[in-house]
Amino acid sequence: MLPSTSRLLLAFVLMSGLSACMSRPANSSLTVPPSTPTLRLSSLPTTTKQPLTLTPSPTTFVPSVPDDKRIIASIDIGDAPRNMAVENGYLWIIAGNSIVRIDPQTDQMVGKPISVTVPEKAGLEAIVVGEETVWVSLVGWGDIDRPSKIDSVLRIDPRTGETVATIDVRRGPVSLAFTPGIVWAVNFGLGAEVSRIDTKTNQDRRCSL
């Protein structure tokens, strides 16, 4: 049991603490020392009226032609350039109903365009060069699943511009390839066949796919 003096001192301390607590105003708050950082959290919205939209920054993937350093030359070859082939140091290009030859060393057209007789409702499609000869396919317009008497492969002498042979092939010869002695034509119409043209006889030996 505490002595009477100790009991009086303890009672005084308790009463002083209680008095201090009761004397603080009701709207008072604890003071946080300035050295102590505080974190303030703003309330998050519970609903969103508009969906989130990501707006990319403007980016140019392909620069305009005048500023494109990859384009080192622009060569005017005439009407509607289409497919091309490379052989003997030249670039051979189908341009409308003609074939033009480009020298990549000078970026100039060599000689005059080779004019090709093309029937109405038809056009030149594929080109390949081999054995000092230009081979081009001729494809009639219209349904590729219907027979056409126009579809063929033309053998052209580039020195004279003369068409020396016309080889009939199946419908849709839209792709040509050359290997020694053989010109291959992939025909996409009517069952899909590959024409195997003998360059010595100009005869077609078909291979079904």
Q: In this predicted structure, what is the pLDDT of residue 1?
A: 52
* CB < 8 Å & 24+ apart, contacts of 110-118: 113/77, 113/78, 114/156, 114/158, 114/161, 115/161, 116/154, 116/156, 116/163, 117/163
Q: In this predicted structure, what is the pLDDT of residue 24?
A: 46
Burial class (CB in 10 A: 0-12, 13-18, 19+), 174: middle
Enumerate domains of the chain plus CATH numbers.
65-208 (2.130.10.10)
C-alpha R_g of the chain:
44
Q: In this predicted structure, what is the pLDDT of residue 112?
A: 92
Q: In this predicted structure, what is the pLDDT of residue 67?
A: 65
- CA 121 from chain center: how many Å? 31
| Per-residue confidence in pLDDT tens, the chain, 209 aa | 545 444 444 444 344 444 444 444 444 444 444 444 444 444 445 554 444 333 333 433 344 556 667 778 888 888 788 899 999 899 999 999 999 999 999 999 999 999 999 999 999 999 999 999 999 999 999 888 888 899 999 999 999 999 999 999 999 999 999 999 999 999 988 777 899 999 999 999 876 65
